Amino acid sequence: MIRITAGVRREESTMGIGDKAKDLSGKVKESVGDATNNPDLQREGAKDRTEAAVNDAADKARKGVDDLKENSSGLGEKMGGAKDALKDRFGKDNDAGR
């Protein structure tokens, strides 16, 4: 979701609380790994942050599919109505020319 506040456009995070915690934990692990020169801790932190980002992306994709389903309900009926209107306008016998 994008919110505009006082003329500033910013994207709101949709990351769930569990993913936010995992991301923050990963940042801390990476920082401590950097400070202590511990590559294992750095990798573990990067893994945690990546996992949180993948979960967030999956949640966004799931929400997008749900929104698409919700917004496209009745589309078949609308298309059928448009087809009928075109047939009425241009003649029902014009299908034979295809």
pLDDT tens, position by position, for the chain (98 residues)? Answer: 555 555 555 555 677 899 999 999 999 999 999 999 999 999 999 999 999 999 999 999 999 888 888 877 767 666 777 777 778 888 765 555 55
- At 91, give phi and psi (nearest 5°): 100, 135
Token digits of residue 95? 């299908």
Query: What per-residue confidence (pLDDT) applies to 24?
Result: 96
pLDDT of res. 4: 56
pTM: 0.59
Cβ count near 16 (within 10 Å) = 13
In 3D, which of 26, 73, 21, 71 has the Cα closest to residue 45?
A: 26
